[in-house]
Structures are given as structure tokens and as C-alpha cells.
Amino acid sequence: MRRWVALTLMAGVVAVAQDPAHAQDVRDAQQARLALWVTSPIGASNAAHCNMPATIPQGPPDLTEDDVLAWQPATATWAVDVTRLDVHVRRPVDHCFVLALDGRRVHGVILAPQSARLIRFPTLLADARRGGLVLRLNASHDGQAFPLGQEWLDAILQSRTAP
């Protein structure tokens, strides 16, 4: 049985496991400036379970800044090298996610840009056309495209800015 310790941070509550293997995963995620976990599928639900306070999932992240090929600050999008990703992450649409950006935690749902779902919490738009994967973190998916965390992403990915 796992025991959890709650730590209060500026943005909310984060649970930290005392399990040694999980503690190593947490340390690995803290070393990566950008760490993404693709978690549970949303199925036919309204994805509300993706809007629960997020903890660092078990296991290493599915994607880190090392997997990012190019960053476009003008559109707040980043292209990912899909050959380095597990098969379930190559087409991550309709799954929950946990994203750590320099220790800040964002959780929400991954959607296709053309999705008709009305979501009023963070969304990660995943455009998986032409064999690639382009991501964009938005504050919501409700007809208004407001990027979320653009300044954090720019600080992390500026060395990968595409020409």
C-alpha cells in the first residue's frame, strides 16, 4: 500500500509518493524541463476526470524537451519527433495528460484541433497529420484559442526555435 504526502505549492496541492521507484520517476521529471505523460483515455465522456488535480504519473514521461524538433513562438506550437515516441503517444488524441514545465504542473485533455468538444480547462491540441505531431497548449477549447504557458515553453524551447 502506498502512502502519500501532500505538499502545498503556490498553484495547488501535489501528491508525492514515498515509493522509491516513483520517487526516481519524480526526480527524472524534475530534471526534464518539459515532461509530458499521456494518461487515461476519455472515451465518450466529457473529459471532466482530466481536470482533477494532477500528480506525477508512475513511470518516466512519454515526451520530454529532447523529443521536440522545433518550436514556433508565433503560433505557440511545437513539433515532435514521433519516431522517438511509444506507439500510444504518436496519436494521443482523446486522452488525459499531465505536463510539467519547469516544475509547474498542468493537466487536461488532448484533443484534435478540429474537435467539436467544448472544454473549459487546459487542452493540448495534437495535430498528427503527414506522419508528424504538432502540439499546442491552450487554456481551453471553447472557440477561443488562447495559448497557455507560452512564456514557460519559450524559455524551455527557445533553442529549438524554427527558422
Q: pLDDT tens digit string along 96-134?
A: 999 999 989 999 999 999 998 889 999 999 998 777 899
Q: Which domain holds residue 94?
A: 4-160
The pTM score is: 0.77
Q: What backbone phi and psi angles, to 5 degrees, belong to 11? A: -95, -5
pLDDT for the residue 143: 76
Q: Give CA–CA dist 52/56, Å, rounded.
A: 13
Give residue-wise pLDDT tens across range 26-37. Answer: 455 457 999 999
Residue 10 clears pLDDT 60, i.e. is over it: no
Collapse the DSSP code of 44 into the 3-class scheme (helix H, G, I; strand E, B; otherwise coil) and give the result.
Answer: coil
Q: Quote the number of domains for the chain.
A: 1
Phi, psi of 68 (to 5 degrees): -85, 125
CB atoms within 10 A of CB 48: 11
Q: Could you report the per-residue pLDDT of 65-82, keeping only the tens digit for each?
A: 999 999 998 889 999 988
